[in-house]
Structure 1
Amino acid sequence: MTAEHYLGLTGARTMPTTALQLTQRAINDLVELQAMGVVYGPAGSGKTFAWQTAVDTVDVPVCAVQFPSRPSMLRVAQVLLGRLSGRIPKGSRFALSDELLDLLSERPRLVVVDEAQWLNRDCIEYVRHLHDDPATKFALLLVGGNGCWEVLEREAMLRSRLFRRVAFAPMSADAVLRVIPNYHQLYTGVDPELLLLIDDVFAHGYFREWATFTHTAQHVCEDRDTPLDEAITRAVFALHDGGADAGR
């Protein structure tokens, strides 16, 4: 699985932030011990890119799934079995569960459940049951956005089994000044005050918003044949209707 920058942004570098490094360590530990963990934080803070980057280095098969909001246990079984087996599953939840247990017992692997905050209590317990079965051999990573930890921490049986927990948050102003000049060549030599203006008006510390700004700014700079400056920056703001807060 190859991680891609948001919008397929070209020229962006993978930044070794603390959260990315913690995610890498957490996933390595989960795979080694076939344990459970969670990566969570607000949308756009870099979670997906981090875990997709991290799983590239593991030496077991990776099964990544995402369920619709508030799925049934049957739907969870169908999606997971379909992804593992490559076929359309048919049968009752109990029959599918038996097949899942057999597949998950065959060899070590990593199962990633994205948007885990969409799971209800029954589905969380169902996934935990699959992992806790003595015969299964998989590490389980739950990844979620806004509200994920609040959902998971209510389930004591699950929470007590979480071996690794990584929380993502927007970058602080100091982090922006450390990270963004190396994130993309567009920002090489750019005045720190301009970077802070972009972050204050548009990006708010979120990698996704920085990728969005960078994608548009590249094209504006190319059209005007000039490096990034305040005029370009304000043109990008205008193209995005005043920045990420517009319309909120």
Structure 2
Amino acid sequence: MTRTDLADGRLPAMRDDHFLGLEDAQLVGTESLLTTKDNIEAVIKAKAMMCAYGPAGYGKTMAVNSALRELAPRATYRLELRAGPTPRDIRHGLFKALRLPGEPPRRPSEFDALLKEALAEQFRVLVCDEAQWMSRTGFEFWRHLWDDKHTDIAVIFAGGDNCYRVLRREPMLASRIYIWQEFTRLPKNQIRKVIPAFHPIWATCEPSLIDMVDQEAAHGSFRNWANITAHLVSGMDKTGTEHVTEELIHWVYSKIGGM
């Protein structure tokens, strides 16, 4: 599996959504997750473009994948492009994700014609994950594909704040984004409800400890919570401890940089 071809462009298994492949982690129906489903449903219906943006670790990819598994599992094709992808990188990523036969054309005009022909055959949802790496020319290429009157696609960008800034700076691009969804940290008033449902080790934990971990280390980030939980599971297995304790939590802090 390469970085530009995640599982041949298809949606990953649900277990792969969680950071570190954390076992027993559950998808929790947060407000953000439910909003994402509503937004993607609207984008699919309109055959439009969407930008899901926010800092790393706040659940963008997980929410988008979850919604698409339910709404368009067979029509979704994902690309995860890194290090400032050029239009050439996007062309080749789409060629692989769509599993087009033969060798990629050498000339950009021929390559574009091939992609447009393939994208006109049936409706597809194209997801560009890690879109914070995209330059203006990269976004312009996606717009070029979407603008073509024959292609039958919806496009979802999921990326960091730079994704938002680049798109907003270009009126030609920004005006074509149907829905903007910002992902922020999990609100403190939801932590005590969401985290015990996220993983079994927190289900019997004292609420005050959950509050402490969020304030000192997790900061409303699901990725941080997954990392901390993975270390706790390991520590509990090694010590035979059945419940999360403050001592174990501070042991985890020593693993993740200290507090």
Return the TM-score normalized by structure 2: 0.88
Secondary structure, counterpart of 1:85 in structure 2: coil
Worse-matched range after superposition: 233-242 or 66-75: 66-75
Q: How does 1:23-62 map to 2 (within 5 A)?
A: 23-59=36-72, 60-62=74-76
Kept in 1: contact 2:134–2:163 (CA 8 A): no
Which of 160, 175, 178 is matched with 2:175 structurally? Answer: 160
Which amino acid letter does the alignment assign opposite residue 84 of structure 1? L
- Summarize deviations over 1:138-169 as a string: whole Å, max 9, x none: 11001112322111111211211211221111
**Residues 219/67 of structure 1: CA separation in 2 closer, same or farther (3 Å cut):** closer
Unaligned runs of 5+ in 1: 244-248
Which of 75, 87, 91 is matched with 1:77 structurally? Answer: 91
Q: CA deviation at 1:66?
A: 2.1
The residue aligned with 1:246 is none
Secondary structure, counterpart of 2:71 in structure 1: coil
Return the TM-score normalized by structure 1: 0.92
The residue aligned with 1:120 is 135
User: Is 2:225 aligned against 1:210?
Assistant: yes
Kept in 2: contact 1:19–1:166 (CA 8 A): no
Which amino acid letter does the alignment assign opposite residue 67 of structure 1? L
Which of 129, 134, 147 is matched with 2:162 structurally? Answer: 147
Q: CA deviation at 1:71?
A: 2.4
Secondary structure, counterpart of 1:190 in structure 2: coil
Which amino acid letter does the alignment assign opposite residue 83 of structure 1? A
Q: CA deviation at 1:86?
A: 4.2
- Summarize deviations over 1:14-45 as a string: whole Å, max 9, x none: 11111111111122222222111111110011
Which amino acid letter does the alignment assign opposite residue 65 of structure 1? L
Which of 216, 219, 223 is matched with 1:201 structurally? Answer: 216
- Summarize deviations over 1:67-109 as a string: whole Å, max 9, x none: 2322222222222223213455131111100001101100001
User: Is 2:254 aligned against 1:241?
Assistant: no
Task: Count matched residues.
Answer: 243
CA distance in 2, matches of 1:189, 1:75: 48
Which amino acid letter does the alignment assign opposite residue 68 of structure 1? R
Q: CA deviation at 1:173?
A: 2.0
Q: CA deviation at 1:203?
A: 0.9
CA distance in 1, matches of 2:252, 2:83: 34
User: Is 2:149 aligned against 1:138?
Assistant: no
Q: How does 1:13-28 map to 2 (within 5 A)?
A: 13-28=26-41
Kept in 2: contact 1:20–1:50 (CA 8 A): yes
